[in-house]
Amino acid sequence: MSNADYIINRDSEYVAHTYGRFPVAIVRGINATCWDPDGREYIDFTSGIGVNALGFCDAGWVSAVTEQLTKLQHISNLYYTEPCGELARILCQRSGMKKVFFANGGAEANEGAIKCARKYSFMKYGEGRSKILTLKNSFHGRTVTTLSATGQDVFHNYFFPFTEGFEFIAPGDIGELKKKAGGVCAVMMELIQGEGGVLPVDPEYVKQAAEFCRNNDILLIIDEVQTGIGRTGSLFCFEQYGIEPDIVTAAKGIGGGLPLAAVLFGEKTCDVFNPGDHATTFGGNPIACAGGIEILKRLDGAFLNEVKKKGEYIRERAKKMPHVAGLAGMGMMIGIELEPGISSADVVRAGLETGVLLLTAKAKVRLLPPLSITYSEIDSGLEALNEALKRI
Ligand SMILES: *Cc1c(COP(=O)(O)O)cnc(C)c1O
């Protein structure tokens, strides 16, 4: 039995089968290159689903995290710690938002955003204005409430009763948004639907929606769990849409690999929560935040420009590969549309044979490489992707 098989068999016996895992175990990595326990090498075009912003074991991130680890790992939100406030300050300065609530993952961040929107409206208008409009084909998380917010029928099974108060509208249809705005406290959307298939939402629609929301005191919540923290070539994707959201959620890339998420509140929403309204034991953990500070420091203007350039570089080359029908996304959030009849899951499986880790997003192959990936790693990964496509 190979070392990988040993790991895989034990996992299959004792870990609940909620994930359809690939038959691959990874034991170590550097930047965008990683290895299985038998020495097989892979180029990582997934960054742990958009999480490892600086790749595997970046020296600066490791040192920020380990330095904090030797000082204070946790003390609870009953006390002040250094990293939490500093990371919040940087996030606010860079985004124009006013205050931050730290959580541990995307769904939890979205729960915080939903609670904030409902309280904002309740305090101002009382009952009957608690509805939240979200987009069809969206993805907002796996808790009962964020599943309710997710605009895809496949997620609305088994777990009844779901949380009330969500309605789905078609992205791009401003008329439908206006028609359904009665009793609504917030509109929540991703700017590029990640799990939904790397589908950018029309910028003109987003602008009109933002304007309508502002004029009607409906809060605009932007879910940047996947698009945020440099992924699309700006710190937050909303900057490229020319809008000012009332609430922004971030997770995945913000901790560089440790569980960390943030709800960013704007002018209207930054004082909605009072002590006791909302909390989480692990949120703002000093180690995770110390890592987050390093991530934010490294993602300066020059770095973000490189993200755009590397994204273009990958797109240009992927366009010419066999079975590729088109490219979607922004920066290093990339969707590869395949010719009809070619399954994205088959391409991902073929990639495991040729030495590249890939993601799917519905019918597309999705690439979320670490933002720090080198051109030489990109070239190796693209070669393996090309070979995988040829084998289909
Ligand atoms: C991944 C994702 C989530 C859920 O994040 P978790 O950390 O898995 O809870 C929510 N929204 C979007 C847009 C995501 O991509």
Q: How many angstroms separate the alpha carbon of residue 212 from the centre of ligand 1?
A: 26
Helix (H) or strand (E) holding 359: strand 359-361
Q: 74 CA to middle of ligand 1, Å?
A: 24
Task: Look at the pTM and tell me if it is higher than 0.95.
Answer: yes
129 CB within 6 A, ligand 1: no
Within 10 A of 389 (CB to CB), how many other CB atoms are there? 23
Atom of ligand 1 nearest to the CA of 138: 13
CA distance 276 to 265: 17
pLDDT digits (tens, 9 = 90+) for 11-48: 999 999 999 999 999 999 999 999 999 999 999 999 99
Task: Please name the residue ranges forming H helices in the chain.
Answer: 3-14, 47-50, 59-69, 82-95, 106-125, 144-149, 174-179, 203-215, 286-298, 301-319, 344-354, 375-391
**71 Cα to the center of ligand 1, angstroms:** 31
| Residue 239 DSSP class | G
Where does the pLDDT of residue 1 fall: very low under 50, low under 70, confident under 90, or very high at 90 and above?
confident
Mutation choice for ligand 1 from 104, 195, 199, 249, CB with most ligand atoms inside 8 A: 195
- In whole numbers, what is the pLDDT of the chain averaged over residues? 98
Q: What is the CATH number of domain 61-298?
A: 3.40.640.10
Tell whether the model's pLDDT for residue 243 goes beyond 90. Answer: yes
- Tell me the C-alpha distance between 298 and 295, whole Å: 5
DSSP state of 50: H
How far is the CA of 375 from the CAs of 197, 307, 310, 369, in angstroms?
26, 11, 8, 11
Residue 287, both tokens: 């180690």
C-alpha torsion 241→256→318→356, nearest 10: -160
**Nearest Cα residue to 266 out of 213, 227, 230, 303:** 213
